[in-house]
Each structure stands twice: as C-alpha cells, then as structure tokens.
C-alpha cells in the first residue's frame, strides 16, 4: 500500500522532476507504519530521496518526500531566502529550515504559505500567493501561478504525464525502486 501511495503522490519527485511532494498517510497500526517508513527511507535514500514526517496526529502522518540536493538549491535562491527570512526562519540549511517548517506547522495547525518553497514552487509564485492571499492568480494547477504562466502550465503537464506513466508502469509490475531515478 505504501508503494502505491508514494507513486500516486510523489511520481514527479521520484522521477527527479520536482524537489518534493507532500501527502497525508492514514495510520491504523503505528508500529507497522514506522517499520514501513524505516524500510522506505533505507530503500529510497540510496537514490537520493528522503522521507520526513512533518506532522503526526496519531491517526495520520503528513509525509514529506524530498530530494535534499534540489531542496538545498531551492532554498539558496535569493527571493526564497527573503521570503523565509520574513517568515522567521533563522537558517537556510535543509535540516534547520525543515525543523523551522515543522515547528510552524505544529504551531499554526495548518500549512504556512512558505511551504511552496519546500515543494519546488517558483519563489515568485509563493511570494504572489502570500501577497495576494491566494487571489488574483494567472492560473491554477499544482499551485497558484503569479509569475511564468506558460512555464508553469508546461510543468503541470509534465507532472501529470509522469504520474500517469509511473502508475501504468507500477501496475505493470515495476517496483518503486525501479521507478525512482537516482540523483
């Protein structure tokens, strides 16, 4: 079940087309789930993919699947740093930034708007979303677009095609390991 959830929700990240993905996992048996998480961390870590629980409600886990090298690059972008600084982030290293994000999610109980930076969204779109409070965007796909609409629409199509192809290959017998591109 965990394999299918990862494919459905993270195909572009697994294919190294996207920095990260985020989804909620239902948890019926916490001990069993923890074993599965440890197993997948070991398997996917060898291909440059990390898994982090951002929130644990007891019945669900908010799972963040990411590529550390891409995230480090994204967080080093000048506008991304300005946004994070304005949101109270003291450091921009991956570990420190993720710790701050986890704290903000726990404190606010909802997604802080800068989370888009951790998902590989263009900083200008994250900034636009925050400035316009989610209104007046140019288009909506995987995120609300305030900057390069044409580029975003192409990216949304790539992500959809990737997910469709990955699901087809997975149902055809390919393993998650085989479908994950090494970085």
Strand partners, 60: 26
Summary mean pLDDT of the chain: 96
64, 51 contact by CB (below 8 A): yes
Share of the chain above pLDDT 70, in %: 100
| pLDDT at 120 > cutoff 80 | yes
Mean local confidence (pLDDT), 77-102:
97
Q: What would the pLDDT profile of 63-75 be if each residue is shown by its tens digit?
A: 999 999 999 999 9
Give CA 77 to chain center in angstroms.
17
* Position 77 confidence tier, pLDDT thresholds 50, 70, 90: very high
Domain ranges for the chain: 2-176
Q: CA of 32: how far to CAs of 22, 44, 173, in Å?
A: 21, 18, 24
| pLDDT at 38 > cutoff 80 | yes
Q: How far apart are CA 54 and CA 101, in angstroms?
A: 8
Mean local confidence (pLDDT), 48-61:
97
* CA-closest candidate to residue 18, choices 146, 107, 118, 100: 118
| pLDDT at 45 > cutoff 80 | yes
Strand partners, 56: 61
Q: Give pLDDT, residue 1.
A: 73
Q: Which residue has the tokens 């060898």?
A: 46
Q: CA of 71: how far to CAs of 20, 30, 136, 175, in Å?
A: 8, 28, 27, 25
Q: Give pLDDT, residue 2.
A: 85
Q: Give pLDDT, residue 109.
A: 76
Give CA 109 to chain center in angstroms.
18
């Amino acid at each position: 079940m965990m394999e299918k959830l990862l494919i459905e929700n993270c195909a572009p990240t697994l294919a190294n087309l996207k920095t990260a993905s985020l989804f909620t996992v239902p948890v019926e048996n916490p001990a069993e789930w923890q074993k599965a998480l440890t197993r997948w961390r070991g398997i996917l870590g060898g291909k440059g993919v990390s898994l982090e629980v951002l929130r644990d409600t007891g019945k669900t886990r908010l799972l963040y699947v990411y590529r550390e090298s891409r995230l480090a690059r994204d967080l080093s972008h000048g506008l991304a740093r300005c946004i994070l600084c304005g949101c109270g982030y003291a450091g921009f290293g991956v570990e420190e930034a993720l710790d701050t994000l986890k704290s903000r999610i726990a404190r606010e109980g909802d997604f802080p708007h800068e989370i888009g930076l951790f998902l590989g969204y263009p900083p200008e779109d994250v900034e636009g979303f925050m400035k316009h409070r989610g209104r007046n965007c140019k288009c909506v796909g995987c995120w609300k677009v305030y900057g390069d609409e044409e580029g975003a629409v192409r990216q949304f199509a790539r992500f959809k095609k990737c997910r469709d192809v990955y699901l087809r290959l997975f149902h055809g017998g390919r393993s998650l390991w085989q479908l994950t591109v090494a970085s």
